Amino acid sequence: MKTRLLSPLVKVFPEAEPTAAEFTAFSYLRNETFSFQLALKPESPRETAAQVALASDLLPDLSLYVVEQIPSTPCGYEGHDDYHYDVTRPSFPDLLRPTDGSLCLTAGEWTALWVTCRPTLGLTGERPVTLTVKTDGGETTAVFTPTLIARDLPAQTLLYTNWFHNDCLCTYYGVEPFSERYWPIAEAYLRNAAAHGVNLILTPVFTPPLDTAVGGERPTVQLVDVTKTADGWSFGFDNFEKYVRLCRNCGIENFEISHFFTQWGAKAAPKIVATVDGELRRVFGWETDSHGPEYTAFLTAFAEAFCREVDALGIRGNCYLHISDEPGEEDRGAYRLCAETVRRLFPGFRFLDALSDLAFVREGVADIAVCGIDHADEFRPAVDEFWTYYCGGGRTKCVPNRLFAQPSLRNRVLGLLLWRYDADGFLHWGHNFWYSQYSRHAVDPFTVTDADGAFPSGDSFSVYPGPDGTPLDALRHEVFADGLRDLRALRLLESLTSRSHVLELLEEGLAEPLRFTAYPHDDAWLLGVRAKINDEIARL
């Protein structure tokens, strides 16, 4: 049996022997989740049954996974930069499938085991983890030695949202939104999101008008009950309150209220259903002018009720509102009118939107402008509060991203760069988007990873649906969370020393300052930076 201990930055392909340096030891903070890999290749010419056992003081906190290859397509990669694997590959290592250690290894192929430690025991010092692999042909042992530093990572201050698609959950599992069967499924996914750094959650007071074909609609996931009365409108917030309580119990304290106007221009109202004369019906949608008196009157009534509700819950300061996603230059006038309405009706709230036209900022149209990551150098000096996002379009200029065909360093380096740019927030659109583009139909994320031919594989989701209503993590999800932990470690060291000291450490030996478009494409560099951070924290 051939074996290699590897860092979580390595993607192991069945046909290729890993060339990365072995990863046999590293340091972590006492409360820090960490991972490593063991790559295996049987020397038998036929399929090999194997049993893997773990032994360690950390054993109660360890989980074992098989890294499965998931289909990929080259869709959307035209014009990509050269910091990719071969984009025509039919599959990439991505799904972390839990295992009890029983494996079936294919002759002549490499398989990666992924070990994750989620510390709860409070242990410090060296805590070796021994992996013993038994087959009919004998026994192989590998030892990884983590050193746990007697200091905790601080709480994450960066606000991070990865859009949580409740309708995709309900469609996949065949449950009614906000029904008795829905809540435990939502809880499992929310807890998983929080464990990976999400602390700002898309909250569908009305069905989010995102990635929806013009004239089409997504399944109704509206937390607020609406009734049309003789005097106007009334609102019920029972499900909203339950959702807020659940999120807070799962560790998510901030709420991103879904968009009040349609995507790509704020031209219409979102889909809103209401009880009218005892019957539930759609009362607003694509046919509703976003600036018309009917919808404005509705928003006026809703704003009054919503403000009372969030004040009663004590979360006004934790709520962020949306106008419209990704408006273009030609939409600035319409967006301005909508923004003026929201400012007037929802005083004291912040609102944020993904937009990368700096004119929205210069003209005071936008509140928090979340720019595309390839526009960061233009936006950073122009704004006091810096937020950024990436999507499948951000595959040029070597900017960070987490697509299937990109090296994991390109995923994890985001954490260092968010610290370097002193970012306040990060947004991604696809936590669990298991639909085709424009939400025309559902897809199987285990076989369709590109929203049915629309986006590069890996853009639209970070978790897979487990059979029991719980999420299965992607390798990309774990690596991204490692980046956020790097960010928190940098914040800790900054609090113990100074920003200038940490910056000097971070850029030591580099020919130019770190930027989203310029950083070493070398796993050893990133791991070395994190080791230096940890050494400094331990010393201090």
Residues 52-71: tens digit of each pLDDT: 999 999 999 999 999 999 99
Provide the pLDDT for residue 395.
80
pLDDT in tens, 444-463: 999 999 999 999 999 999 99
- Local structure of 205: helix, strand or coil: coil
pLDDT digits (tens, 9 = 90+) for 392-442: 887 889 999 999 999 999 999 999 999 999 999 999 999 999 999 999 999
* Pair 11, 93: CB distance under 8 Å: yes
- For residue 112, what are the β-bridge partners? 39, 67
pLDDT of residue 239: 98
Nearest to 64 by CA among 78, 72, 53: 53
CB atoms within 10 A of CB 27: 19
Predicted local confidence at residue 441, as pLDDT = 98
CATH no. for 2-153: 2.60.40.10
Q: How many CA atoms lie within 13 A of 213 on its CB side?
A: 10
Encoded amino acid at 205, one letter:
V
Buried residues in 194-209 as b, exposed as e (16+ CB within 10 A): bebbbbbbbbbbbbbb
pLDDT of residue 78: 77
Q: Kindly report the number of other CB atoms within 10 A of residue 227's CB atom.
A: 14
pLDDT tens profile 330-377? 999 999 999 999 999 999 999 999 999 999 999 999 999 999 999 999
Beta bridge partner(s), residue 62: 117
pLDDT per residue over 76-113, tens digit each? 677 889 999 999 999 999 999 999 999 999 999 999 99
Which residues make up the CATH 3.20.20 domain(s) of the chain?
Answer: 159-491
Contact in structure between 145 and 24 (CB atoms under 8 Å): yes
Q: Single out the residue of 532, 530, 535 nearest to residue 34, CA to CA.
A: 530
- The DSSP secondary-structure symbol of 316 reads G
Q: Give per-residue pLDDT as tens, 224-249.
A: 999 999 999 999 999 999 999 999 99
Give the tokens for residue 139: 């026994």
Q: Is the pLDDT of residue 137 over 90?
A: no
CATH 2.60.40.10 positions along the chain are 2-153
Is the Cα torsion angle 257, 370, 163, 76 positive or negative in sign? Answer: positive
Q: Backbone phi, then psi, for 379, in 5-degree steps?
A: -80, -40
Q: What is the architecture of the domain spanning 159-491?
A: Alpha-Beta Barrel (3.20)
pLDDT at residue 75 tops 90: no
Query: pTM of the predicted model, to two decimals?
Result: 0.97
